[in-house]
Amino acid sequence: MRIAKAALITPERNFAYGLTAIALSIFVFAYSTRFGQISILVFYALWLPLVLVDYRQVLGNYARYHWILAFGAFALLSTFWSLSPGTSARASVQYATHIVCALIAARVIGARTLSYGMVAGTALVLAYSFLFGGYHFDPLDGTYSFVGAFSSKNQLGFYASLGVYFAFVVAFLLRAPVLVRLGVIAIGGISAYALVASQSATSLIGIVLTLAAMCAMRLVLMFSTGTRKMIFVCGAILAVTGIFIALNAGALDAVLAIFGKDATLTGRTYLWSEGLASIAQAPLLGVGYQGYWVQGFAEAERLWAEFYIATRTGFHFHNTYIEALVELGAVGFMLICVLIGRVLFAHLGRLLSHASDPSAYILFGLAVLLLIRSFVEVDILYPYTIGSFLIYYAAGQWALRPAPGQDRANTPPLGAAYVGVPSRPVASP
């Protein structure tokens, strides 16, 4: 049986393949530590063989991706000065190939297909966690929380928040058929339940702020181009001012108290101080990609012991920027800031200029969520994680920069309706 190329690599015609590939990739990211190397091979098998179908369309001109690839390339180079060269070499190669797969997805999968795939994938992840997961006692705050099949409530909370976000996108932005919408809303409800059960304050606050930003942006887009830009700038200034005043008035302590947390964020502030102190070891280039959390290194062993990490693996400073500074120094910090900032402002700028661009709207909200989480989690610095896959996907989508009206992300204008699940966008009425 022959399969048409378009069914695999054309965004407007590969809905079935794209949804399956995204959903399976998410499941691999969630549970690769459980299923081992075979699951990682499945992830590569979903994306890399597409290069053989049509390498020009699948890979494109990587010169346009220089700002996207810079952080991964620097991580590779850090092998030469890493405190643990073997660890850095292996991890950086994994990260680089992970980036390539995300960029392939950006070229062949549209934002609509991504959204449906994310809903299906998070449903699989949460179903597995409910079937085979359990509760975990946190010795730091003395509470039990549902962690599912993960080792951390924050991991479960992240996937649950993504389930809520993309259920919102599919149900209320892409205007799916009624039956599909009801199913998606049900998945969103299950995701919300898992989010609450996980007791992950960072995940819950992150998704609430993201949805609030999405709703506010939808109001801004009701105005003309010039007016919406002015409203956005004024709104952003007021929001920053309000947050500053609220923090000084003790709002943060009040919010944390709702979740049973204190101002130390369950040890995060102590971790941050330890990370900032560690930057002095190699302030410019860092100690090497993933070269800090290595078994046998005194500081890593001490922190593992203090935070009851018996496995002595899988720990970090719970802050993307501090982690980047420790591992890759000021250069790595600058490169990751460029990546996050450019993704956010690129999709924001496109959205403010072209209000009916649905892919920019979806990816802007996703960038907001990842930005919020970047201050308290490390979602985008490691291979085989959903956060890093999504940030590089969003970056790759921007690097394509199709002309207005010719968006390759196979989504209709905001407010348009679907009849069934078509293979191409339906024109706006």
What's the structural domain count of the chain? 1
**Environment class of 428 (CB within 10 Å of its CB; exposed 0-12, middle 13-18, buried 19+):** exposed
Pinpoint the alpha helices (H) of 109-149: 111-132
Q: Considering the domain boundaries, does residue 407 fall inside one?
A: no
pLDDT band of residue 223 (cuts 50, 70, 90) is confident
Q: Considering the domain boundaries, does residue 424 fall inside one?
A: no
Q: Considering the domain boundaries, does residue 217 fall inside one?
A: yes
Helix 66-77 × helix 386-400 angle, to 10° = 140
* Residue with the larger pLDDT of the pair 333 and 64: 333
Q: What does the block give as tokens for 283?
A: 């302030």
Query: Torsion over CA of 228, 238, 360 and 406, rounded to 10 degrees?
Result: 20
Q: Considering the domain boundaries, does residue 425 fall inside one?
A: no
Q: Considering the domain boundaries, does residue 206 fall inside one?
A: yes
pTM for the model stands at 0.90
**Which pLDDT score, from 0 to 100, does residue 410 have?**
45
The answer to whether the beta carbons of residues 319 and 275 sit under 8 Å apart is yes
Lowest mean pLDDT across 105-119, 138-152, 174-188: 138-152
Q: Considering the domain boundaries, does residue 125 fall inside one?
A: yes
CA atoms in the 13 A half-sphere facing the CB of 60: 19
Q: Say which residues have a Cβ less than 8 Å from residue 49's Cβ, sequence separation at least 6.
A: none
304-344 per-position pLDDT tens digit: 988 888 888 878 999 999 999 999 999 999 999 999 999 99
- How far, in Å, CA of 91 to CA of 93, rounded? 6
360-400 per-position pLDDT tens digit: 999 999 999 999 999 999 999 999 999 999 999 999 998 87
In DSSP terms, which residues pair with 143 in a beta bridge? 138
Q: What does the block give as tokens for 270?
A: 């102590």
The answer to whether the beta carbons of residues 418 and 174 sit under 8 Å apart is yes
Q: Considering the domain boundaries, does residue 1 fall inside one?
A: no
Range of the domain at 170: 6-400
Q: Give the chain's length.
A: 429
Q: Considering the domain boundaries, does residue 429 fall inside one?
A: no
Whether the pLDDT of residue 428 is over 50: the answer is no
Task: Look at residue 262 and give its three-state secondary structure.
Answer: coil
The answer to whether the beta carbons of residues 379 and 158 sit under 8 Å apart is yes
**Which pLDDT score, from 0 to 100, does residue 263 have?**
58
DSSP letters spanning 300-360: HHHHHHHTT-TT--S---S-HHHHHHHHHHHHHHHHHHHHHHHHHHHHHHHHHH-TT-HHH
The answer to whether the beta carbons of residues 366 and 357 sit under 8 Å apart is no
Specify the DSSP element, H or E, that contains 187: helix 178-198
129-148 per-position pLDDT tens digit: 999 988 887 766 667 788 99
